[in-house]
């Protein structure tokens, strides 16, 4: 009968040491290995945003870019979620003292139902009263939604009435951003000098943190300040420039003259697809302190 071969003390010690070494290495690997990056893709933006500005305001300057990025990423956060809006937006908005509740809150998850209906996805935005220093930017932003429709869309009085009451009514924001004194102004976009031309390299959203080192102090909806939706004089001037003959306040919003049919006001607002491109488009970073 073959005798059993028991391990020697040396063999046992060697095996024990090897096991301990493996455990230590495994512990180090599990502790120091970073978590895999999020696979959540940045969602496609399914609407068009067209900016304009009062005389003397250049939309391609760094201060105006910060205002544009704040409003666009705020709009996007309503349906994509704050963490899946513009890069850096979640951090930039985290400590805001006032925030537009229509865009959710600073920790809102994605809510695709917050997207405007397909026929109301052309957003017109207008910057007024832009003031900027080394560490402070503030501006007033006038807003409206326009119908972007197929050419063969049939306008009905009901469509005109519903859209007029719920979607077209203007709204105004006051936006403020700040940054630490003596820090750089951050990385800006290349200027978009062709409002009517789509640039094939343009991005729906920046692929860099357009905010840093700036943070958003507040986004104030003026409805909560004066119980109106956009009657500030500078916004009324913009409306009347876009629609000559329009008169009244946002709460007595009526069509420009001469419109003689029930659907004429809706038809004056509507734009047929494909419509204009975004302006300014996000064309990639130009560099720090640009």
What is the phi/psi pair of residue 165, to 5°?
-80, -30
Nearest to 94 by CA among 6, 205, 212, 198: 212
Higher pLDDT, 101 or 6: 101
Domain around 93: 48-288
Assess contact for 222 and 173: CB atoms under 8 A: yes
CB burial readout 111-145, b (16+ within 10 A) else e: eeebbbeebbbbbbbbbbebebeeeebbbbbbbbb
Q: How far is CA 148 from CA 42, 122, 171, 264, in A?
A: 24, 6, 19, 16
Q: How far is CA 177 from CA 99, 211, 213, 245, in A?
A: 12, 9, 10, 36
Question: Token match 């840093």: residue?
Answer: 212
Residue at 12 is within a domain: no
1 pLDDT above the threshold of 80? no
288 pLDDT above the threshold of 90? no
**Percent above pLDDT 90 for the chain:** 40
| Tokens (6 digits) for 237 | 């001037």
Higher pLDDT, 164 or 220: 220
What mean pLDDT value characterizes the chain? 77
Q: What is the pLDDT of residue 260?
A: 66
| Tokens (6 digits) for 99 | 């925030």
Residue at 110 is within a domain: yes
pLDDT in tens, 187-225: 889 999 999 899 999 998 999 999 999 999 999 988 755
> Angle at CA 169, nearest 5°, toward 167 and 171?
105
Domain count, the chain: 1
Nearest to 114 by CA among 123, 98, 103: 103
Assess contact for 174 and 232: CB atoms under 8 A: no
| Tokens (6 digits) for 269 | 């607002």
Q: What is the pLDDT of residue 8?
A: 43
pLDDT in tens, 88-145: 999 999 999 998 888 887 888 889 888 877 777 888 999 999 999 999 999 999 988 7
How does DSSP classify residue 182?
A: T
Q: How many residues does the chain have?
A: 290
Nearest to 76 by CA among 210, 243, 262: 210
Residue at 4 is within a domain: no
Question: Token match 């509507």: residue?
Answer: 270
Residue at 58 is within a domain: yes
Q: What is the pLDDT of residue 51?
A: 97
Q: What is the pLDDT of residue 91?
A: 95
Residue at 125 is within a domain: yes
Q: How far is CA 114 from CA 75, 182, 257, in A?
A: 10, 39, 34
Helices (H), the chain: 9-32, 62-80, 89-93, 157-166, 223-226, 233-242, 264-269
What is the phi/psi pair of residue 210, to 5°?
-75, -15
Residue at 151 is within a domain: yes
Residue at 211 is within a domain: yes
What distance in Å separates the CA atoms of residue 87 and residue 210, rounded to the nearest whole number?
7
């Amino acid at each position: 009968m073959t005798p059993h071969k028991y391990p020697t003390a040396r063999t046992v010690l060697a095996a024990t040491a090897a096991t301990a070494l493996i455990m230590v290495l495994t512990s180090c690997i599990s502790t120091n290995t970073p978590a895999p990056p999020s696979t959540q893709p940045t969602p496609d933006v399914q609407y068009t945003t067209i900016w304009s500005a009062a005389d003397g305001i250049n939309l391609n300057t760094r201060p105006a870019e910060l205002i544009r990025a704040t409003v666009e990423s705020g709009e996007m956060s309503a349906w994509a979620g704050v963490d899946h809006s513009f890069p850096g937006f979640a951090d930039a908005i985290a400590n805001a003292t006032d925030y537009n509740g229509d865009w959710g809150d600073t920790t809102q998850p994605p809510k695709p139902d917050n997207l405007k209906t397909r026929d109301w996805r052309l957003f017109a935005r207008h910057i007024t009263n832009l003031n900027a220093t080394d560490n402070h930017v503030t501006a007033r932003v006038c807003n409206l939604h326009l119908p972007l429709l197929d050419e063969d869309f049939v306008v009905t009085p009901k469509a005109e009435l519903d859209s007029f009451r719920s979607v077209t009514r203007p709204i105004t924001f006051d936006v403020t951003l700040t940054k630490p004194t003596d820090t750089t102004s951050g990385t800006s976009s290349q200027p978009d000098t062709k409002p009517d031309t789509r640039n094939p390299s343009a991005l729906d959203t920046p692929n860099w943190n357009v905010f840093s080192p700036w943070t958003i102090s507040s986004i104030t909806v003026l409805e909560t300040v004066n119980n109106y939706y956009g009657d500030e004089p500078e916004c009324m001037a913009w409306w009347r420039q876009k629609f000559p003959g329009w008169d009244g306040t946002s709460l007595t919003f009526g069509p420009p003259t001469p419109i003689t049919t029930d659907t004429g006001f809706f038809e004056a607002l509507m734009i047929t697809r494909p419509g204009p491109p975004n302006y300014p488009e996000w064309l990639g970073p130009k560099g720090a302190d640009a």
